Amino acid sequence: MTSSQQIVRNILGKRPVWPHRPPGGTISGWVDFALAELRGAVLEQVNGAPEGAVLAFSSAAWDSEHLGVQVAKVAFVVGPATSQALDAVVSAALASAMQQGHQYLVTRIDAADLPLVQALERQRFQLIDVLLTQYLSVTPFESKLPGAPQASGSLLVRAAGTDDAPMVGKICAESMVSSRFHADPFVGPDRASRVFADWGRNLILGGQADVTLVAEEGGEVAGFLALREVAASRESLGFKYARIELTAVREGSRGRGVFQALFERAREIALHRAWALLGVGTQVNNIAAIRAYQKAGFSAGESAFTLRWLDPKLGGW
């Protein structure tokens, strides 16, 4: 274990503040899970905070391609610190980012860590999203074999094929109207729609999901749901955990039980794959979606702020 990893372990072991905290397991296992999420990131130690601080930079090639600038994701691991110390940590992050040629930084901060959020805002990070993560424990229930398509009333739920990719992308572009991309003035709604159209297609064509389901209504795709297993969850948490990557229902098919049919199928697949926990992130202003998940049995977990910094040369304020 490197010295940077040890600092991360010490800080999170004492103060479990992190934007992705699935329930279950032990404190030690949860810290292992956080470290696994940082795997592949470039870790940098920063002086100034009493218990130390670590920055974790990860390249974001997909974001860079779609936004047309050099994008990186940065995670902050900082113990309790004064405003002055937090300002020094954020300044160090910006200096490092500019040295590496990054033009756009995005970070997600646990909502419990308001002092860090305020320090980021003091140095031109802009709030673009607030995310609520909800969780559902997958318990045994009577289910059908997960291999064959299943009918639910007039709906047919089946695994997505490559021919479904254009329609899934179209549904994504039309349905996803609230996200960190839409809220970012640099991106704007038109480019955000193109981002989601490509994201939807790549769920099927680019392997961005482990399972993508579609619901057919009258022979046409009415909605979809994509699942992705979270890497290293079993080794760190002691159980397998997956997230709903994206889900949406075509406007003309809403209110007809499409999501419910997709979710029931997804729950059967989770049971078959021994996924003990499902998670999903939803924008806090999407009350309808939050209620739909709660009706399906999900419970609120953590919430997090998403902020971004843009190089002033590109219009960052």
What would the pLDDT profile of 238-274 be if each residue is shown by its tens digit?
999 999 999 999 998 988 999 999 999 999 999 999 9
Residues 298 and 153 in one domain: yes
Q: Are residues 77 and 223 in the same domain?
A: no
Q: Are 45 and 144 contained in the same domain?
A: no
CATH code of the domain containing 202 = 3.40.630.30
Q: What is the pTM of this model?
A: 0.91
Give the position of tokens 């499902």. Answer: 278
Tell me, yes or no, whether 7 and 88 share the same domain: yes
Q: Measured between alpha carbons, how far is residue 123 from residues 82, 260, 312 in Å?
A: 16, 43, 11
Same-domain status, 197 and 292? yes
pLDDT in tens, 127-151: 999 999 999 999 875 455 555 566 5
CB atoms within 10 A of CB 104: 24
- Domain boundary, last residue among 98, 123, 148: 123
Paired sense of beta strands 211-217 and 104-110, if any: unpaired
Residues 250 and 165 in one domain: yes
| Closest alpha carbon to 97 in 128, 62, 64, 59 | 59
In terms of domains, do 154 and 108 share one?
no
Same domain, 118 and 140: no
Give me the domain span that covers residue 84: 3-123
Same domain for 142 and 45: no
Domain count, the chain: 2
Bridge partners, residue 59, by sequence: 72
Residues 28 and 148 in one domain: no
**Residues 171 and 299 placed together within one structural domain of the fold:** yes
Beta bridge partners of 106: 73, 308
pLDDT band, residue 166 (cuts 50/70/90): very high
- For the chain, give percent helix, strand, coil, nearest 5: 40, 30, 30
